[in-house]
């Protein structure tokens, strides 16, 4: 991951909200995409801080996104390839 602060915040988010290890690799893309759609209001890192510490409703929304995206064929392929790469 290109941003150490983002990696740290996503690790805290994943721990706090018990994101399964099999879905955690999706977090950077989800947070970066959500931040990009916020029209410059947030970076992925500030969005992670907001969701982790200040806004549980935002966290729940992003967790729902993780679950929904993880069920797509492309995400399943990506997650399988990621698991094989790190194994």
The domain containing residue 73 runs over which residues?
A: 4-86
Instruction: State how many domains the chain has.
Output: 1
Residues 63 and 68: their CA atoms lie apart, in Å, by 9
Q: Summarize the confidence of residues 2-16 as an average pLDDT.
A: 93
Nearest C-alpha neighbor of 27 from the set 82, 65, 76, 58: 65
Supply the pLDDT for residue 2: 59
Higher pLDDT, 84 or 43: 43
pLDDT, tens digit (0-9, with 9 covering 90-100), for 20-63:
999 999 999 999 999 999 988 999 999 999 999 999 999 999 99
**The predicted structure's pLDDT at residue 87:** 75
pLDDT at 1 > cutoff 70 = no
CA–CA separation, 46 vs 29, rounded Å? Answer: 14
Q: What is the DSSP letter of 1?
A: -
The pTM of the whole model exceeds 0.85: yes
* DSSP string of 12-69, one letter each residue: HHHHHTT--TTTGGGHHHHHHHHHHHTTTS--HHHHHHIIIII-HHHHHHHHHHHHHH
């Amino acid at each position: 991951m290109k941003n150490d602060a983002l990696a740290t915040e996503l690790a805290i988010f994943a721990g706090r909200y018990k994101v399964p290890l099999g879905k955690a690799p999706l977090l950077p893309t989800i947070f970066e995409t959500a931040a990009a759609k916020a029209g410059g209001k947030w970076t992925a890192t500030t969005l992670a801080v907001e969701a982790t510490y200040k806004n549980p409703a935002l966290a729940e929304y992003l967790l729902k996104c993780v679950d929904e995206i993880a069920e797509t064929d492309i995400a399943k392929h990506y997650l399988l390839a990621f698991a094989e790469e790190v194994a």
